Amino acid sequence: MWLAILLAHQGGWDEILFVAAPIVIFFGLLFLANRRANELHRQADEADETDLESEEA
């Protein structure tokens, strides 16, 4: 019952949630994917540096 009351028309703020929630979720996932990609890129760079050092020796 309280959920129905909460989601009842409340002057427009609930409609804003229907737009804002997917945008926030999308940017959150984009942030996580970007952070993961940067970490993988950093690890690849470190591996390349290690390979170069071992080839020089």
Region 8-32: mean pLDDT is 88
Stated length of the chain: 57
Output the pTM of the full model. Answer: 0.63
Measured in degrees and rounded to the nearest 5, phi and psi for residue 11 equal 85, 15
Q: What is the pLDDT of residues 24-56, one digit of tens each?
A: 999 999 999 999 999 999 999 888 777 666 766
pLDDT at position 56: 64
Region 4-21: mean pLDDT is 78
CA distance 22 to 28: 10
